[in-house]
Amino acid sequence: MPATLAPVHLMPPATPQYDALTDRFTRIHRFAHLQNIAHWDQQANMPSRGNEARSAALAELAGLLHRLRTDPALGSSLDEAGSEGLDEAQKANLREIRRQWDAATSLPEALVERRSLATSRCEHAWRSQRPANDWAGFLPNLKEVLAIYREVAQRLAERSGMTPYDALMDQYEPGMTTVKVRQVFGDVRAWLPDLIRRVSEKQAREPVLQPHGPFALDAQRALCERVMQLLQFDFSAGRLDVSAHPFSGGVPEDVRLTTRFREDDFLQSLMGTIHETGHGRYEQNLPRALLGQPVAEARSMALHESQSLAFEMQLGGHPGVARLLSPMLVEAFGDQAAFMPGNLHRLLTRVKPGFIRVDADEVTYPAHVMLRFDIERALIEGEVEAEDIPALWDAAMMELLGIDTRGNFTDGPMQDVHWAEGLFGYFPCYSLGAMYAAQWFAAMRRAMPDLDARINDGELGDVFGWLNANIWSQGSRWTTDELAVRASGETLNPAHFKAHLESRYL
């Protein structure tokens, strides 16, 4: 008999340089975990007198993280790891590590620490200056933040070859440019005013009952948490709190969401919570086995906003979801005719130009984003100064929405925390995200022709399953265009957004 041959086991190729990189980024992830929780606490729990010490601590931590990200040894590891026979997932991770390395090594540590201090100071002061309509008090801090971000943008641009504003936008939306955004937004500007007019005329003939308050804050909070459970948020890995401006923070292992409450308006907290729950579910379902590595992070902020707006707008405005919410509202606030499903759906889809972006309906919402994009791009490129913001804001609000904001800084250029925190380049992601959300639902309906019937029956699991399989679990494995094609068969196509609005509202 022939001798039995022992099986041959092929060892995977050694990847010492790649392994060194992943070890380093696991450490960075753990320090960033603490940084993110400290940021959340600063905005949700910290007493006001703690801000100076917290700002200094966060600046120190920002410097530490910057040193970890810019260690010269990482540069040589990056160069050598590419020839180590990596698999496709490892190559994607290496691509994302290099993207972070390029951005980090463009900035000196002193600038990173100065940025952290300035944004902490500006955001903290904004909390009291906004309700006081104190633009004059806000302006000096904003000018300091703007000056720092112009320097950041210039350094990133010199490294990348982009324009300064594109270099900032690339930090949130890799591959996106001003040229692309202007093309997309230009198309929306061409049809949005007429759509708003037609929808307003149609809805003027459709009476809607307004709910009667006040709405107790504890009942609102209980309602929001119950709706988060309906949307399958994992409370064992996250929580809901209160802040001056709703946001999602923390880390995938410990997601922190916030909302804000008003006794006279429960819809603000409810829809804000639904929005943030979309962010939270994305974070909670990123590829767990790869957490700590850049490839396991959300791909881009437009994709992140596509999740929050898929929840808030696509689902939140669906008649089937109104039927699910109706008995919850009755239980929370008592029986009112306004809470009947049909009336509630009309409330949730009411189109009315208003001052506040986060409270805007999905038809007028793009106008708020286009206004901010135009202003912040001009600010970063040095075409206008911070002192020019109110006049630019007033003119654009009148042009786009017919609203007079003169002298109203609280509901005008101070309403968002983004510029106080230095988030220049972020705003376009909101409307790009709304377009992606419409595209995802168009793809879902092709795959599940009875999707709307399922939602009408209260079955939301198929929506979450599709999002998990196509978006959440993919992390940053693919470029944004590749992910869009894999999920929906095409790159970003704004036609789906227009078709969605016309179908729902006309």
The amino acid present at 156, given as its one-letter code, is L
Q: Fill in the DSSP letter of residue 312.
A: I
Same domain, 144 and 225: no
Q: Residue 12 has what pLDDT?
A: 58
Query: How far, in Å, CA of 58 to CA of 64, rounded?
Result: 10
Q: Is 192 exposed, middle or buried (0-12, 13-18, 19+ CB in 10 A)?
A: buried
Q: 165-177 b/e with 16+ CB inside 10 Å = b? A: bbbbbbbbbbebe
7, pLDDT greater than 90: no
Question: Does some domain include residue 4?
Answer: no
Per-residue pLDDT at 103 exceeds 90? yes
Residue 9 lies in a domain: no
- Within this chain, do residues 209 and 244 fall inside the same structural domain, yes or no? yes
228 and 138 in a common domain:
no
Can you say how many angstroms the Cα of residue 155 is from the centroid of all Cα atoms in its chain? 25
Q: What is the pLDDT of residues 184-197, one digit of tens each?
A: 999 999 999 999 99
Residue with tokens 């992606």: 436
CB-based contact 275:259 (threshold 8 Å): no
Q: Are residues 356 and 494 in the same domain?
A: yes
Q: Does the pLDDT value for residue 10 go beyond 80? A: no
Nearest to 399 by CA among 367, 432, 374, 431: 367
> With bands split at pLDDT 50, 70 and 90, how would you rate the model's confidence at 505?
very high
Write the burial class of residue 179 (CB in 10 Å: 0-12 exposed, 13-18 middle, 19+ buried).
Answer: exposed
Do 197 and 321 fall into the same domain? yes
Residue 7 placed within a domain: no
Summary mean pLDDT of the chain: 96
Domain count of the fold of the chain: 2
- Which pLDDT tens digit goes with each residue over 335-384? 999 999 999 999 999 999 999 999 899 999 999 999 999 999 999 999 99
CB atoms near residue 31 (< 10 Å): 13
Within a domain: 169: no
Q: Provide the CATH number for the domain around residue 236.
A: 1.10.1370.30
Whether pLDDT at 5 is above 60? no
Shared-domain flag, residues 224 and 157 = no
Taking alpha carbons only, the member of 237, 300, 339 closest to residue 430 is: 300
Containing structural domain, residue 53: 16-162
**Does residue 158 sit in the same domain as residue 190?**
no
**pLDDT of 218-247, one tens digit each?**
999 999 999 999 999 999 999 999 998 899
**276 catalytic, yes or no?**
yes
The answer to whether position 5 is within a domain reads: no
> End-to-end distance of the chain based on CA atoms, in angstroms?
81
Q: What is the 3-state secondary structure (H, E, C) of 383-442?
A: CCCHHHHHHHHHHHHHHHHCCCCCCCCCCCCCCCCCCCCCCCCCCHHHHHHHHHHHHHHH
Q: Which residue has the tokens 């881009």?
A: 300
For strands 254-259 and 248-251, give the pairing: antiparallel
Is residue 499 situated within a structural domain? Answer: yes
Confidence of residue 14 (pLDDT cuts 50, 70, 90): confident
Choose the catalytic residue: 276, 305, 312, 421: 276
Task: Please give the Cα distance from 329 to 212 (Å, whole number).
Answer: 12
Torsion of CA 36, 41, 47, 49, to 10 degrees: 0
Residues 107, 183 within the same domain? no
- The pLDDT value recorded for residue 245 is 85
| pLDDT above 70: residue 1 | no
Among 138, 162, 186, residue at a domain's last position: 162
Instruction: Examine residue 230 and state whether it is found in any structural domain, yes or no.
Output: yes
Domain boundary among 162, 190, 217: 162
Indicate the residue among 162, 193, 211 that finishes a domain: 162
Token duo for residue 78? 């990056």
Section 262-290 average pLDDT: 96
Residue with tokens 């729950």: 277
